[in-house]
Amino acid sequence: MILNHAQIRLAINYPEICARTEKGDFRMKPLFTSACVTALFASTALAQTYTGDVAIDAEDVAIGQKHYSPYLDQSYPNRVFFGDTHTHTSYSTDAGSRSTRSPR
């Protein structure tokens, strides 16, 4: 069975699903038994997502099996988020000591 990223990630992030599956009280047992086994092998590689290589590669453009919806097979950035990485609030000594009161 070919699993998509979401299923593998679910199994990695929620090991209790694996435990429950092994006890036989999880409805999607066949799927998640496979996911849990895959997760065992995949967890090392996926864990590196957060520490090492975060580049978008060819696999991120087409993941796993063919789906009707193209979005299930995509794992590349398609949204822009705007933010501020340097804001002083009332919690900052520089601002809080000079009458900045937000947030209280």
Partner 1 sequence: MKGDGEAHPMLSPDDEFADYGTWDTGSFGPELKTPDMLPREYARSAYLRGLAYEQDLGVNPFRFGMVGSTDSHTGLATTTEDNFFGKITLTEPTADPIRFEELVTGRATPDDPSDDIIHAQALASGLAAVWSRENTREAIWDALARKEVYATTGTRLRVRVFAGTSFSADDLARSDFAGHGYANGVPMGGDLKGLGGDDVPGLLIRALRDPDGANLDRVQVVKGWVDADGVTQERVYDVACADGREIVEGACDGAVGNTVDVASATFTNAIGDPFLETYWQDPEFDPSQSAFYYVRVLEIPTPRWTTYDAAFFGVDLPDSVWPTHQDRAYTSPIWYTP
80 sits near partner 1 (criterion: CB under 8 A) = yes
Structure tokens at 37: 């086994």
Phi, psi of 42 (to 5 degrees): -85, -20
Query: Is 12 or 21 the residue whose CB approaches partner 1 more closely?
Result: 12
The answer to whether 32 and 26 have CB atoms below 8 angstroms apart is yes
* CA dihedral of residues 94, 99, 103, 104 (deg, nearest 10): 120
Taking CA atoms, 79 is separated from 67, 71, 76, in Å, by 22, 13, 9
Considering the complex, what minimum distance in angstroms separates the CB of residue 77 from partner 1? 4
68 sits near partner 1 (criterion: CB under 8 A) = no
Query: Is 25 or 57 the residue whose CB approaches partner 1 more closely?
Result: 57
Considering the complex, what minimum distance in angstroms separates the CB of residue 16 from partner 1? 20
71 sits near partner 1 (criterion: CB under 8 A) = no
| Contacts to partner 1 by CB under 8 A | 49-50, 54-56, 58, 60-62, 74-90, 92, 94-95, 98-103
